[in-house]
Amino acid sequence: MASKPPAGDPIQDAPEVTAPQHAAAGLPAIGHTLRIANRQMGATRTALTLLRVNQKDGFDCPGCAWPEGDKRHMAEFCENGAKAVAEEATRRRVTAEFFASHPVSDLANRSGYWLGQQGRLTQPMLLEKGGEHYEPVSWERAFDIVAEELRALDSPDEALFYTSGRTSNEAAFLYQLFAREFGTNNLPDCSNMCHESSGSALSETIGVGKGSVLLEDLYRADLIIVAGQNPGTNHPRMLSALERAKKEGARIITVNPLPEAGMERFKNPQTPLGLSRGTALTDLFLQIRLGGDQALFRMLNKLILETEGALDEEFIQQHTHGYEEFAAAARDADWEETLRATGLDREAVEQALGMVLESRSVVVCWAMGLTQHKHSVPTIREIVNFLLLRGNIGRPGAGVCPVRGHSNVQGDRTMGIFERPPEEFLDALEKEFGFAPPRGHGHDVVRGIRALRDGESKVFFAMGGNFVSASPDTEVTEAAMRRARLTVHVSTKLNRSHVVTGARALILPTLGRTERDLQASGEQVVTVEDSMGMVHASRGRLEPASKELLSETAIVSRLARRVLGDASKTPWEEFEKDYSKIRDRISRVVPGFEDYEEKISRPGGFVLPHGPRDDRTFPTATGKANFTAAPIEYPELPEGRLLLQTLRSHDQYNTTIYGLDDRYRGIKNGRRVVLVNPEDAERLGLADGAYADLVSEWRDGVERRAAGFRVVHYPTARGCAAAYYPETNVLVPLDSTADTSNTPASKSVVVRIEPGDREEAAAPAAR
């Protein structure tokens, strides 16, 4: 299997390399933001739109899930939030004429970047079986087609209902209700590829699959450990929180194979100091090998156990279970293995230990660097062990902080977007809506792809996202998608999933977060939940991109009526007219949402209850917080191979490419680069700037190849390499997933790097 850049693309991918930077944000970020925003929106719209981001009466930033503080700045957004907004509020439009002049075969040869740059989708489009072009279709006909294909299935379990993480609580709740009334729990979502490992590890150990800290806890912490996360690019507003935490006396340990500029120094563009020197954030940088985190925390745990008076014995006694077994395993931790797994030296680990022991309250933050490995679940459980030992859960300034990705991915899960719903949730649905929900587990993303590949799933419906580009094993996934009878995408922008289709395909264009949502009862607000369990309202103000757009909520309501007909007692029409009717039902089904309507009318919204955080109640099987003991794992590399992580540049939002630069890492005008430690490169004979192919090696014996990457000598940890997603998804084997959570191991791909063809230098931008 090999992937090359698409041929028919006018955008040239020709990476240039300069030195990486050592600080994030500051004045260049402001300039960059305004340039990108102006290009898409024009000056007036830019000003009006950006001032509404994350204000209490405005809309929730469609960028990341980082919470807003209570004291908001006039401009509570960041460079990358502004890019996300500009991408949605762009003035460019994809019209019926566009599709008439571009056959699908042509669109399939364009890069994802080019597709996204064409602008907002404006009307429903249908690709008929054997058709060469998408053609306009009425909403009525579109719903008829979906209903017809769904009804033709032998079983409801032959359908897949995917969700990306931007969908509001209201739309998500209706969507899962529709899928379950239709008869399936096949509700895979982006979370399966993202923080599923965090959810799996946390629900087992502390009883709640979400983070246990609020913003104030960061300000009260003595020590914050940021592991496997690049907030300067992916959660830029977190840097302001870290800056404030430092001012209040916290220290920061960063654990990462890459020195990320944002964690080194932050120049807050909203303060005078920030425009000059900025604040140094990291006190100790542990440049760890990919996948070495479990071994690191295990050794820290051993050292804590060996230190007199270091344990919070009262907490362990009262609130935990499984201590003895865990302590026995931790005492076995071995220095030689730790140093091999982590690539660190002993002094660095001991220095970290010193900082831990000096700190009464510790928070650990993490993101994809910890969740996308084979042993991610035991790694995160080891972090829980680490926190439990010193009672660092359920008191101010301490706890777990998995930093979520999509702006409402956490809310979607709370609303029941889950292929393995808890029994209590289904019981509550049954009681409220008077139907018998299916009880068997459904497909997650990876199982969904297998089912499509094997002809067991026949209709694929996506509420947002870009399934074929975001998923692993691009060629397998694309072939799987092409086997479907019907693929349907509710989307704002054109992407590759619209052009790699089943026999028939529909594009259903929808409103974005920034746009006014007018229904029969008047203007609607929606609600979202951030990474810290705060729920608040979001109100779009912009004129919709086209008069033909329907809201996601309206699309689900109408589809449900068409598909389920009189069999459904649910008042879908009422829900579409007035979203407060949906919230009323949510308040009766989902714990923590009592008096929902009243609570979201308060400025800033409300915080959901969280047993471990609020009063140290742990709703686990044992009724206590569980210590766990797992064998240490870490990736082992055959000679001459590197371990590749696939990650984000500064100019993208997942599969949406904003531009071809990765400013902080010093990469310009191209994305097909692979970052390699200079000593490894030397050993492997890879000159800086040479062109090479990345070939992934997996136990199934299949060679997966991504061609035409420029080698960049870069100070990553030894034995490790890094390249951008989604260009490298072709290298991630479908079956290479995390144990328990089944999340693709996208940060742990064994590759060899083969000298490539010089001609690739002129390769067009990648898909």
Question: 3-class DSSP state for residue 494?
Answer: coil
Is 652 a residue that touches ligand MGD (CB under 6 A)? yes
The answer to whether residues 366 and 380 touch, using CB atoms and an 8 Å cutoff, is yes
Which residue has its beta carbon closest to Mo ion?
405
Instruction: Give the integer Cα–Cα distance in Å for 242 and 233.
Output: 14
Place of tokens 């944000």: 25
Identify the CA nearest to 191 among candidates 379, 457, 407: 407
Is 24 a residue that touches ligand MGD (CB under 6 A)? no
Residue 475 neighbours by CB under 8 Å, 6+ apart: 1, 3, 704, 730
Residue 621 neighbours by CB under 8 Å, 6+ apart: none
Q: Which stretch binds ligand MGD (CB under 6 A): 91-99, 188-196, 216-224, 336-344?
A: 188-196
164 or 557: CB nearest ligand MGD: 164
Judge residue 435's burial from the number of C-beta atoms within 10 Å of its C-beta, 0-12 exposed, 13-18 middle, 19 or more buried: middle
Out of 17, 107, 258, 632, name the contact with ligand MGD by CB under 6 A: 258
Strand partners, 365: 226, 401
Whether the bond into 28 is cis, omega within 30 of 0: no
Instruction: Give the integer Cα–Cα distance in Å for 648 and 667.
Output: 12
Minimum CB separation of residue 176 from ligand MGD in Å reads 15
What count of Cα atoms within 13 Å lies in the side-chain half-sphere of residue 651? Answer: 19
Is 197 a residue that touches ligand MGD (CB under 6 A)? no
342 or 626: CB nearest ligand MGD: 342
Instruction: Give the integer Cα–Cα distance in Å for 166 and 513.
Output: 8
Q: Which stretch binds ligand MGD (CB under 6 A): 212-220, 352-360, 558-566, 651-659?
A: 651-659
Q: Which stretch binds ligand MGD (CB under 6 A): 136-144, 152-160, 221-229, 669-677?
A: 221-229
Minimum CB separation of residue 199 from Mo ion in Å reads 12
Which of ligand MGD, Mo ion, none does residue 466 bind to, with CB < 5 to 8 Å depending on kind? ligand MGD
Pairing of strands 320-321, 625-626: parallel
617 or 655: CB nearest ligand MGD: 655
Which of ligand MGD, Mo ion, none does residue 570 bind to, with CB < 5 to 8 Å depending on kind? none
57 token code pair: 């009466």
Question: 3-class DSSP state for residue 523?
Answer: strand
CA distances (Å), origin 140, targets 97, 555, 692: 21, 11, 50
Q: Which stretch binds ligand MGD (CB under 6 A): 204-212, 344-352, 391-399, 645-653?
A: 645-653
511-550 binders of ligand MGD (CB under 6 A): 512-513
498 token code pair: 């619209």
295-354 binders of ligand MGD (CB under 6 A): none
Is 378 a residue that touches ligand MGD (CB under 6 A)? no
Minimum CB separation of residue 193 from ligand MGD in Å reads 4
Is 256 a residue that touches ligand MGD (CB under 6 A)? yes
164 or 457: CB nearest ligand MGD: 164
Q: If you ran DSSP here, which 8-state letter would residue 418 be given?
A: -
190 or 586: CB nearest ligand MGD: 190
Which of Mo ion, ligand MGD, none does residue 258 bind to, with CB < 5 to 8 Å depending on kind? ligand MGD
Is 234 a residue that touches ligand MGD (CB under 6 A)? yes
Minimum CB separation of residue 254 from ligand MGD in Å reads 9
CA distances (Å), origin 686, targets 448, 645, 716, 745: 38, 18, 15, 25
219 or 725: CB nearest Mo ion: 725
Is 729 a residue that touches ligand MGD (CB under 6 A)? yes
287 or 410: CB nearest Mo ion: 410
Whether the bond into 726 is cis, omega within 30 of 0: yes
Helix axes 43-50, 79-89, angle to 10 degrees: 120
Is 490 a residue that touches ligand MGD (CB under 6 A)? yes
The continuous run of DSSP H or E covering 722 comes out as strand 720-724
Provide the H-helix boundaries in 183-227. 196-205, 215-220
Site string for ligand MGD, 400-419 (x = CB under 6 A): -----xx-------------
Is 156 a residue that touches ligand MGD (CB under 6 A)? no
Q: Which stretch binds ligand MGD (CB under 6 A): 145-153, 243-251, 492-500, 671-679?
A: 492-500
195 or 251: CB nearest ligand MGD: 195
Out of 356, 607, 667, 732, name the contact with ligand MGD by CB under 6 A: 732
Is 486 a residue that touches ligand MGD (CB under 6 A)? no
Out of 349, 647, 763, 766, name the contact with ligand MGD by CB under 6 A: 647
Minimum CB separation of residue 701 from ligand MGD in Å reads 21
Neighbours of 144 (CB within 10 A): 14
Place of tokens 């531009």: 659
Neighbours of 636 (CB within 10 A): 11
Is 233 a residue that touches ligand MGD (CB under 6 A)? yes
386 or 606: CB nearest ligand MGD: 386
CA distances (Å), origin 402, targets 364, 373, 388, 535, 663: 8, 15, 16, 17, 26
First to last CA, the chain: 16
The residues of the shown chain that bind Mo ion, judged by CB under 5 A, are 194, 405
Strand partners, 366: 227, 402
The answer to whether residues 441 and 419 touch, using CB atoms and an 8 Å cutoff, is yes
Instruction: Give the integer Cα–Cα distance in Å for 548 and 743.
Output: 37
Out of 145, 245, 367, 600, name the contact with ligand MGD by CB under 6 A: 367
The answer to whether residues 462 and 453 touch, using CB atoms and an 8 Å cutoff, is no
Minimum CB separation of residue 138 from Mo ion in Å reads 35
Is 693 a residue that touches ligand MGD (CB under 6 A)? no
SS (H, E, C) 173-193: HHHHHHHHHHCCCCCCEHHHH
Identify the CA nearest to 460 among candidates 449, 475, 471: 449
Is 190 a residue that touches ligand MGD (CB under 6 A)? yes
Minimum CB separation of residue 292 from ligand MGD in Å reads 7
Pairing of strands 691-697, 703-713: antiparallel
Question: 3-class DSSP state for residue 751?
Answer: strand
Q: Which stretch binds ligand MGD (CB under 6 A): 190-198, 205-213, 277-285, 342-350?
A: 190-198
Q: Which stretch binds ligand MGD (CB under 6 A): 17-25, 315-323, 509-517, 617-625?
A: 509-517
Which of ligand MGD, Mo ion, none does residue 21 bind to, with CB < 5 to 8 Å depending on kind? none
Out of 193, 352, 499, 549, name the contact with ligand MGD by CB under 6 A: 193
What single-letter amino acid sits at 532? M
Size of the site for ligand MGD (CB under 6 A): 60
Is 463 a residue that touches ligand MGD (CB under 6 A)? yes
Is 741 a residue that touches ligand MGD (CB under 6 A)? no
Minimum CB separation of residue 761 from ligand MGD in Å reads 24
* Rg, C-alpha atoms of the chain: 25
Is 551 a residue that touches ligand MGD (CB under 6 A)? no
Strand partners, 507: 125, 489
Out of 68, 181, 217, 260, name the contact with ligand MGD by CB under 6 A: 260
Q: Which stretch binds ligand MGD (CB under 6 A): 382-390, 457-465, 562-570, 678-686?
A: 457-465
The contact set with ligand MGD (CB under 6 A) reads 63-64, 80, 164-166, 190, 193-194, 227-230, 233-235, 255-258, 260, 288, 290-291, 293, 367-369, 373, 405-406, 463-467, 470, 490-493, 495, 510, 512-513, 552, 645-648, 652-656, 725, 729, 732, 746-747
